Amino acid sequence: MPVTQHLTRTPARDTLAPHHVHKHNPAEVLLTGLDTLRPDTFTVTATWPTHHPFYTPTPHLNDPLIFIETIRQCFPLLAHHAYHLPHGHHLIWQYLTADINPHAMHHTPHHPAHLTLHLTCSDIRQRPGGHLTALTLHAIALRNGTHLGTAQTRFSAHSPTIYQRIRGTHPNTPTTPPPPTHPTHVNRHHPHDVVLAPTPHPHHWLLRNDTTHPTLFDHPVDHTPGMLLLEAARQATHATHHTTHTHTHTHTHTHTNSSSTRAHTNNGNGNGNGNGNGNSDTHTNPSTGTGTGTATLTRPTTHTHTTLPATPPPYPTHIHATFLQFLEYTTPTHITTTTQTNPTSTTTGTNPGTNPHTTTHITATQNNHTAFTSTITTTPHP
């Protein structure tokens, strides 16, 4: 029989209390319950709000990063309540792989999304007679019985003493982040939610560690949070895919100078416009070399403007990330991307090659050391 954990809940909400998932703001809590089915096997329930201030839906689809945040919140919940890790211990992300079914991610503006996550833990490490030190989490997520996604991720756990030994001496005074890139380039609406700053180099950005952001820095931390790095990977993917359509419009304006009538002859030596006083608007017909009469001048004028793509941005369906070392938010972090398109990939219901998957490789470096890598595979918006 499942054993329902007796967990405190937020007053007037159906979600767990924030400390269960290492959050301060109750509005950021997505998990609603935990059942133990058997050793190392659990069911977790979650609810996605109809509107989230940061994980905002793309057109008609929920943000894929809200799925990742749901998985992340399972870390502390299981560590503390299933494996008895004391509060105050630190959890460190090692890697994440997630696959998302976009057809189950449809956003319903007036109804929260209710999820059931089937969780299995493996490769569990504990000190002899002591606390949890690491585990791998496998998750299968359902939404109203429909397969929504899967995830596999691993984290390690450390006591405050060991964590301080790992971190050593590091600066912790926040610095002012550089100005953001344009929100539309990264599929965002507000500059405050942009985590990338432009550089002169293509496919190269600086990471913005805005410690005042209410979601990404829900509580004080001493390094760049993992969810911020995943958001940077997602925004860099959108920026790499971002294209603009330049439309050229040609307008013909006819100017008539009726007060000045001149005759000009083009004799082929370039002197046909003779006096060059700017009052003559008579142009000869090049086929005859002569021309007289009331001045008319036709000048084509080109106007160029840039518009955003009419189609929605591609949707992430596969995300992999590896966290190699801590990133200090007081030191510049460089984000770069490369892309690879599989022209033979298809989307259900389309012809081969018409809707290719594109994989973007994202790298974050600091002090010339690679600290974070990610690959995001996108498909055209369903």
Element (H, E) at 366: strand 357-366
Closest by Cα among 331, 341, 347, 338 to 373: 338
What pLDDT score was predicted for residue 310?
52
What pLDDT score was predicted for residue 311?
66
What pLDDT score was predicted for residue 12?
55
Q: Tens of pLDDT along 296-313?
A: 444 444 443 434 445 678
Residue type, 142: L
Q: Tens of pLDDT along 189-207?
A: 999 999 999 999 999 999 9
Residue type, 131: H
Question: Which residues lie across from 205 on neighbouring strands?
Answer: 198, 335
Closest by Cα among 49, 48, 69, 46 to 117: 46
Q: Is the model's pLDDT at 342 over the cut of 70?
A: yes
Q: What rounded mean pLDDT belongs to the chain?
A: 82
Tokens of 142: 């359902």
What pLDDT score was predicted for residue 77?
98
Tokens of 166: 């790992």
The Cα 42–Cα 163 span in angstroms is 28
Q: Tens of pLDDT along 86-116?
A: 999 999 999 999 999 999 999 988 899 999 9
Closest by Cα among 220, 190, 195 to 207: 195
Q: Is the model's pLDDT at 118 over the cut of 80?
A: yes
- Look at the alpha carbons of 49, 212, 69, 61 in this order and tell me if their dihedral is positive or negative: positive
Closest by Cα among 45, 137, 150, 138 to 100: 150
Q: What is the dihedral of CA 340, 207, 210, 63, to 10 degrees?
A: 0
For 236, phi and psi rounded to 5 degrees? Answer: -65, -35
C-alpha 99, offset from chain centre? 16
> Is the model's pTM score more than 0.85?
no
Range name among 48-62, 164-178, 357-371 with the lowest pLDDT average = 164-178
- Please report the domains of the chain, with CATH numbers, ordered by start residue: 1-168 (3.10.129.10), 176-241+312-382 (3.10.129.10)
What pLDDT score was predicted for residue 2?
62
